[in-house]
Amino acid sequence: MPIIALLIFTFATALIGLFIPIRYGNRFAFISSLIVFIYSLYLFCTFPITADFQYVVDYSWIQSLGIHFKVGMDGISVLLVMLTTFLTPLIIFSVRKSEPRPRAFYSLLLFMEMALIGVFVSMDGFLFYIFWEIALIPIYFICLLWGGKDRVRITLKFFIYTLTGSLFMLVGLIYLYLHTPGEHSFDIQALYTAGKSLSAHAQCILFWFFFLAFGIKMPIFPLHTWQPDTYSDAPTQGTMMLSGIMLKMGIYGLIRWMIPMLPVGLSQNAQYVMWLSIAGVLYAGIIAFTRKDMKRLLAYSSISHVGLIAAGIFAFNGQGLQGGIIQMLSHGINVVGLFFVVDIIQSRTGTRDIASLGGIRLKAPYLATVFAIIMLGAVALPLTDGFPGEFLLISGVFKFENIMGAVVGLTIIIGAVYMFRMYQRTILGETSLATENFTDLTAGEKAVLIPIVIMVILIGVCPNLFLKVSEPAILKLLGGI
Amino acid sequence: MNTLIILSALGVVALFAEIFRFRKGLFPLILIGLAAAFFFTAKEYNHPQVFFGMMNFDNYAVIFSCAILIIAFLWFMMAKNYFLQETSVTDHFALILFSLVGAVVMVSFNNLTMLFLGIEILSVSVYVLAASDKTNVMSNESGFKYFLMGSFATGFLLFGITLIYGVTGSFDLTTIQHNLSTGRETYMALAGVLLLMIGLGFKSSLAPFHFWAPDVYEGAPTTVTTYMATVVKTAAFAAFYRLFSLCFWQLAAHWTDVLSWMVVLTLFIGNVSAVRQRSVKRMLAYSSVAHAGYIAIAIVAMSVPSTCAILYYTFTYSISSLSAFTILFIVSRHKGSKDISAFEGMSKANPLLSFTMTVAMLSLAGIPPTAGFFAKYYVFYTAINHGFTWLVLVAVLAALVGIYYYFRVIIAIYFKPEQQLVPIKVGPLHRTVLIITTILTLLFGLFPNLVLGWL
């Protein structure tokens, strides 16, 4: 029942938000998302550490087809729901007052939160697909209505790109559904059984169908070409949503749906997909190094980080999966923080061009400090949130194959290089024309960034707080195959 | 049978209304009549009746008749104002009512002669209606083209019926089915099936027999186009499926190949041609061709769920296109243009129109949680279930092309700069139609059992 409450509450607030007087729009959206956060925090704190799904609700939805409205949370879901509900209030709070059509904007953000929570709690393949697609609609409109100059072309490309993957996943899901034993059903367990019973050949083909869907969403090289354009042209809140939470849908899909359903498909293709992921890590890292636009740099760094997560998950061992989970959280937090910092810089100076910035530290020490901490998290310094994740991921890949581990380990170096370079050119040095009148963080901006900084350090210092929640579920996953 | 009697009586009353100067009261009378027809049809649910071996009102017929009546009801609400401006309201209404009679016959025939009669009753009225904008050259062209091509297709249909008669010695569906099953798969029978497929493919605008559709749809008055895209399409597919599932399923091995390639062609031509259109009306015409392709997948993969798939698809497609065409009608009357630029920047001043159009486009594009998604899902499910995964993959690619042109309309509505802030006037009837269709689109998308549960 708590899950239904979460879904209904976010959906209701999204609807009500459309009719609230504009003056209260911001407060309303923020407070309602805060309530969702507090409630899910409560769920998280009282979450029993077992491998079983909790709070399972199961309604028959379309009887004749065996489709159920079945939701539940295990250790993996609860962490991602936490991530969603933690970031959404911050994202909503970061919206600038000058945004046109604020009510629709807030409503779409809340609606998106609903869809994302739905994706992370679905235990029915059909329901999962519906939420997966519904999440696309608000982000499409957010990018279309509030995006940058070239938004029409870019958002359409984004939409068609992701829908391509989704439709292939739909074909795969129907195929699996028709192979479920007895009365056909979309229940997650039935789909697991169906997938495992398929021949190796069929599993391999389905593996690529699902890979297309999840790989585009994450994105994995070479399916990433929509991402830098979309990230840099979307409004900042859209980018935060996309990079902070939405790409976790893809990773979550891998862990929850694809790998347990198609173990043989994975073991036969792990080589290829891991090399693709690793290629993405290096390729995107090197490109990030050459970017002049801060947002684009972060977009490519995101591809690079996600490549590492994917490689760790495809390695499919305890370290890799646990690392993937914790890195999903920390990447979400870091990237939202970083995009917000870029947004602050852009709103003050009117530019994201690295070359024309500099010396911000002299004018805004707070911003410089916060930026530094989040950046250190992103480059995985020990005691920040990036470290446990990357450490586990790389050791997971090592366990799979030494050469891959060695190559993927380069990511730490490359990441540090482009991040420090950006920091150095924008924050340190002499002030430039653009940054002469730079003002420090306002109270509102601090309110967004301080929780992020706290989380960066919290996850870094005691990652076990989160790892222990997902551990039983991961062990069950590993044992089940 | 009640349906036929009520509809024919209404049609006759509508004709006489002109003489007795009863124009004002005619419209409410028709709505009441349709509601009554719906009520009496629904009462026959689960009480199958056969009339002289010619008509068989089984559940299939009852449900499709109900679907057609619902769509017709909404259509009348949408088209009222258009026809009232004309001098000859009554004969237009009468023509529509008679064509509805044809549609009901098409979904309930049990004899090939009735199939032929149904198609003719439906078509002849629509030929006239397509040309009903008498002073407009385009409309005349449309009616003339439809008539010429339509008669040609009728020829094929008749020829097919004759050949089938030659093989089986009967027009009766059960006898044909029985005689064909005793191993008379002669070339003559196969040629007959092929010719029938051509005739019905023409009526349901399957490529390569779709050439008339874009021109006729574009030239005909928007309300008539709506009628063709909704009621006519539903009836055509219901007849197509009824005939092929009752009579020719033993020969499926012979004709599924042909039909599946027709589907591929239809999907490809419909979707790709729609991309290039500037006129929203022509775009919707090509999209209607494309949707015929999706529906026909269910016929190719003929099995138990096909019936549900066709019912759900035609019904929800009709509702969504009714919504889209109504908005097109309102906007084009206001702006004097059917071009996509007429929609630009209307979101701020017209929230209702923008929202309903967005839902309609999302539904046509097949995005959840709208009904269009579930329709596509169900068709795909039917096809994969029957081993036509390759056809589904083709359809998936076609659907992706579809996103492009449907979203162009959405983009125009929301993105392009505001052209004028004067809200477009929407009459109460149109408003009702839009609200009903939008609610139904979302409702059927979330609870498909509301439609599927009946079959």
Whole-number Å distance between alpha carbons of A280 and A298: 14
Whole-number Å distance between alpha carbons of B97 and B87: 18
Whole-number Å distance between alpha carbons of A414 and A282: 8
Helix, strand or coil, per DSSP, at residue B350: coil
Is A141 close to B414, i.e. CB distance below 8 A?
yes
Whole-number Å distance between alpha carbons of B281 and B328: 7
Closest-CA distance of chain A to residue B415, Å:
6
Closest listed residue to residue B217, CA positions, set B231, B228, B230:
B228
| Whether B40 contacts chain A with CB within 8 A | no
User: The complex's ipTM?
Assistant: 0.88
Residue in the structure block whose two tokens are 């007052």: A97
| Whether B212 contacts chain A with CB within 8 A | no
- A363-373: average pLDDT: 88
Helix, strand or coil, per DSSP, at residue B49: strand
Of A145, A168, A175, the CB nearest to B414: A145
CA-to-CA separations, B349 to A23, B329, B345, B421, B426, in angstroms, rounded: 21, 17, 9, 5, 12
- The answer to whether residues A57 and A4 touch, using CB atoms and an 8 Å cutoff, is yes
Whole-number Å distance between alpha carbons of B215 and B150: 13
pLDDT confidence band for A381 (50 / 70 / 90): confident
Is A137 close to B404, i.e. CB distance below 8 A?
no
Length of chain A: 481
In eight-state DSSP terms, residue B230 is: I
Is B380 close to A151, i.e. CB distance below 8 A?
no
Query: H/E element holding B55?
Result: strand B55-57
Residue of chain B whose alpha carbon sits nearest to that of A128? B368
The pLDDT assigned to B419 comes to: 61
Whole-number Å distance between alpha carbons of B32 and B73: 9
Whole-number Å distance between alpha carbons of B93 and B103: 15
| Whether B449 contacts chain A with CB within 8 A | yes
CA-to-CA separations, B15 to A242, B8, B28, B29, in angstroms, rounded: 61, 11, 15, 13
Whole-number Å distance between alpha carbons of B326 and B434: 8
Two tokens, residue A131: 């939420």
Closest-CA distance of chain A to residue B330, Å:
25
Residue of chain A whose alpha carbon sits nearest to that of B367? A133
Is B452 close to A64, i.e. CB distance below 8 A?
yes
Two tokens, residue B278: 């500037």
Whole-number Å distance between alpha carbons of B115 and B56: 12
Residue of chain A whose alpha carbon sits nearest to that of B452? A64
Closest-CA distance of chain A to residue B56, Å:
26
Of B367, B384, B404, the CB nearest to A175: B384
* Other C-beta atoms lying within 10 Å of the C-beta of residue A19: 9
Q: Looking at beta carbons, which residues of chain B come within 8 Å of A159?
A: 403, 407
Whole-number Å distance between alpha carbons of B302 and B270: 23
* Other C-beta atoms lying within 10 Å of the C-beta of residue B336: 9
Q: Looking at beta carbons, which residues of chain A come within 8 Å of B392?
A: 171, 174
| Whether B144 contacts chain A with CB within 8 A | no
The pLDDT assigned to A81 comes to: 92
| Whether B380 contacts chain A with CB within 8 A | yes
Two tokens, residue B227: 């009628």
Whole-number Å distance between alpha carbons of B230 and A451: 55
User: Is the backbone peptide bond immediately before A222 cis, with ω within 30 degrees of 0?
Assistant: yes
Whole-number Å distance between alpha carbons of B91 and A412: 79
Whole-number Å distance between alpha carbons of A11 and A9: 5
Whole-number Å distance between alpha carbons of A83 and A40: 10
User: Is the backbone peptide bond immediately before A260 cis, with ω within 30 degrees of 0?
Assistant: no
DSSP string, B247-295: TSGGGHHHHHHHHHHHHHHHHHHHHHHHHT-SBHHHHHHHHHHHHHHHH
- The answer to whether residues B208 and B169 touch, using CB atoms and an 8 Å cutoff, is no
In eight-state DSSP terms, residue B415 is: T
Tens-place pLDDT, residues A334-348: 999 999 999 888 888
Query: Three-class SS string for chain A?
Result: CHHHHHHHHHHHHHHHHCCCCHHHHHHHHHHHHHHHHHHHHHHHHCCCCCCCCEEEEEEEEEHHHCEEEEEEECHHHHHHHHHHHHHHHHHHHCCCCCCCCHHHHHHHHHHHHHHHHHHHHECEHHHHHHHHHHCHHHHHHHHHHHCCCCHHHHHHHHHHHHHHHHHHHHHHHHHHHCCCCCCCCCEHHHHHHHHHHCCHHHHHHHHHHHHHHHHHHCCCCCCCCCHHHHHHHCCHHHHHHHHHHHHHHHHHHHHHHHHHHCHHHHHHHHHHHHHHHHHHHHHHHHHHHHCCEHHHHHHHHHHHHHHHHHHHHHHCCHHHHHHHHHHHHHHHHHHHHHHHHHHHHHHHHCCCEHHHCCCHHHHCHHHHHHHHHHHHHHCCCCCCCHHHHHHHHHHHHHHHCHHHHHHHHHHHHHHHHHHHHHHHHHCCCCCCCCCCCCCCCCHHHHHHHHHHHHHHHHHHHCCHHHHHHHHHHHHHHHHCC
* Boundaries of every domain in chain A: 1-160+223-250, 287-481
Q: Looking at beta carbons, which residues of chain B come within 8 Å of A129?
A: 368
Burial of A23 (0-12, 13-18, 19+ CB in 10 A): exposed
Query: H/E element holding B51?
Result: strand B49-51
Residue in the structure block whose two tokens are 């072309």: A153
Closest listed residue to residue B315, CA positions, set B186, B437, B156:
B437
Question: With the CA atoms of B435, B438, B444 and B450 taken in that order, what torsion angle do they form, in degrees rounded to the nearest 10?
Answer: 20
Phi, psi of A57 (to 5 degrees): -125, 135
Q: Looking at beta carbons, which residues of chain B come within 8 Å of A160?
A: 400, 403-404
Whole-number Å distance between alpha carbons of A186 and A122: 11
Which B positions 47-76 lie with beta carbon below 8 A of chain A? none
- A230-254: average pLDDT: 90
Is B404 close to A129, i.e. CB distance below 8 A?
no
Whole-number Å distance between alpha carbons of B134 and B221: 10
Along the 455 residues of chain B, how does pLDDT read in single tens digits?
788 999 999 999 888 887 777 777 788 888 999 999 999 988 888 888 888 888 999 999 999 999 999 999 999 999 887 766 666 677 888 899 999 999 999 999 999 999 999 999 999 999 998 888 888 888 889 999 999 999 999 999 999 999 999 888 889 988 888 888 776 668 888 899 999 999 999 988 998 898 899 999 999 989 999 999 999 999 999 999 999 998 888 888 888 999 999 999 999 999 999 988 889 999 999 999 999 999 999 999 988 888 999 999 999 999 999 999 999 999 888 888 888 888 888 888 888 999 999 999 999 999 988 999 999 999 999 999 888 989 999 999 999 999 889 998 988 888 767 666 778 888 888 999 999 999 999 999 999 888 888 87
Tens-place pLDDT, residues B142-188: 999 999 999 999 999 999 999 999 888 889 988 888 888 776 668 88
Of A159, A167, A175, the CB nearest to B407: A159
Helix, strand or coil, per DSSP, at residue B84: helix
The pLDDT assigned to A365 comes to: 86
Helix, strand or coil, per DSSP, at residue B442: helix
Residue of chain B whose alpha carbon sits nearest to that of A134? B368
pLDDT confidence band for A363 (50 / 70 / 90): confident
Helix, strand or coil, per DSSP, at residue B231: helix
- The answer to whether residues B72 and B3 touch, using CB atoms and an 8 Å cutoff, is no
Best mean pLDDT range from A9-23, A115-129, A357-371: A115-129
